[in-house]
Amino acid sequence: MDMAEMQWKSVVSMGTKRFACTAVAQGQHIYAIGGGLQDNTLEIVERMDVATGRWEAVVSMGTKRCGCPAVVQGHHMYAIGGKGNGDGNFLRSVERMDVVTGQWEAVASMGTARWECAAVVLGQHIYVMGGRNDGSNYLETVERMDLATGQWEVVASMGTKRFGCAAVVYGQHIYVMGGDTRMVERMDAATGRWEAEASLCTNRYWCAAVVQGHHIY
């Protein structure tokens, strides 16, 4: 989308069709990670060079993941949780890619298996929120990884159970929205407390969100 003109346009397609994948930007590249194709879960990763608009395959993850969030911190990308092949194969595991070497490695697993959760980086922590870990068990729980120690801990839960939600960081707040609901809430990083914000106009799940200037889309 051209933010100046507020117009969408098509760009070059990925090499592989996929649903429920995740995407992150790192440097001059956009990475598309995991997802599903028909009845199969994917471990493949592609990246687009934003200067040329071309996609290329890079090293695959060690684990097939569908509906996993991903975040970037420095020269590492983290792929978190998700769902593997087969019914009920919900994942706690986490892996990260060093974009300098192009290699993936396993890091400490979360305390709770979850897919279609949301994740953000704020300060020296990765926060993971909501999701579900069976067909109907939606989660309001939140856990975070200390990037210095690599350890996970449980922090204050959201007020609403959500799956397929989106999350962004603006200032020192984490905003979580949607997830089969219109409701929006935010966490103050200084206090660790959640509070309700103005709701979306439309119920939605499997949505995405970004910050541009002073707006959340």
pLDDT of residue 143: 99
User: Per DSSP, what are the bridge partners of residue 176?
Assistant: 167, 185
Tokens matching residue 123: 């300060």
pLDDT of residue 171: 96
What are the Cα distances from residue 61, in Å, to 44, 53, 200? 6, 23, 34
CB 45 within 8 A of CB 32: yes
Tokens matching residue 200: 């979306």
pLDDT of residue 2: 85
User: Per DSSP, what are the bridge partners of residue 90?
Assistant: 83
Question: What are the pLDDT tens digits along the chain (217 aa)?
Answer: 888 898 999 999 999 999 999 999 999 999 999 999 999 999 999 999 999 999 999 999 999 999 999 999 999 999 999 999 888 899 999 999 999 999 999 999 999 999 999 999 999 999 999 999 987 789 999 999 999 999 999 999 999 999 999 999 999 999 999 998 999 999 999 999 999 999 999 999 999 999 999 999 9
pLDDT of residue 106: 98
Q: Which domains, and CATH codes, for the chain?
A: 1-107 (2.120.10.80), 116-217 (2.40.10)
DSSP E strands: which ranges in 42-172?
Answer: 45-49, 54-58, 70-73, 76-80, 94-98, 103-107, 118-122, 125-129, 142-146, 152-155, 165-170
pLDDT of residue 136: 79
